Copies of this chain bind each other. A is one copy, B any other.
């Protein structure tokens, strides 16, 4: 169905730009690291460096949350950690179900960043009856048949799909029907969901393709010499900026996890 549609109409007064929301987790991670080293305060410059963005952007982002800094000094680390956590809704417990316990699902289940960020793996679900009962990351895998029951009993509102592409839409439909309203999709397919349900997608190969695009640009630039195939249109290559990014792609949001 339609995929089109824009974004939010800005919920009432609290209008934090989407781009800012996408960076809050980044800041939070950097701040958490500082907190663990017992650093009391940071300047926008330092924090920005740690998060991989520029300081003006960071200050602007924080300005949407409120005035939590002190001129001439910087930001109080603990305080900011709390404010951002609260803004992101991480001060509450979010039960999450992971469907599809293959290598990726297992990697996700083992991901430590979950628990420490307000997320709790409520259940691991797989369609393979042979997996049932088998523990992964200390949690016994349950069969797909249990899906609805688990979601309802635990009040799960966030689901993670790590199944093969072919099963994703079906799993998605069941999750939504059972009450899930936010889905993180790792399957390389476009999911159709009813209005009111959020879907975020993470695709391993898309990122690589984007890298290939830039890589090609670096290498080529003239020695293209692709005279093999038919297609017309001169081989006008070109260079585009990216301007030799040194660090992180500040504008992105993708996500997956570490091993």
Contact = CB atoms under 8 A, between A and B. Distances in A.
Interface of A: 1-16, 18-19, 21-22, 24-26, 28-30, 48-55, 66, 79, 82-83, 86-92, 94, 96, 100-108, 110-111, 113-114, 117-119, 126-128, 130-131, 157-158, 160, 162-166, 168, 181-221, 226, 229, 231-259
Contacts of A166: 252
A255 B186 CA distance: 7
Given A215-B181, A239-B201, A242-B22, A102 B107 contact: yes
Interface centre among A6, A111, A233 (most CB of B within 10 A): A233
A51 B190 contact: yes
Nearest to A222: B5
Given A22-B243, A214-B182, A236-B195, A126 B3 contact: no
Query: Chain B CB within 10 Å — which of A94, A119, A250, A255 has the most?
Result: A255
B218 A259 contact: no
The binding surface of chain A is classed by DSSP as loop
A172 B212 CA distance: 18
A91 B158 CA distance: 38
Nearest to A166: B252
B49 A215 contact: no
A5 B89 CA distance: 31
Given A114-B205, A204-B108, A256 B210 contact: no
Contacts of A217: 11, 14, 89
A12 B223 CA distance: 12
Contacts of A103: 103-104, 106-107, 110, 254-255, 257, 259
5 contacts: A1-B49, A3-B239, A86-B226, A206-B247, A206-B255
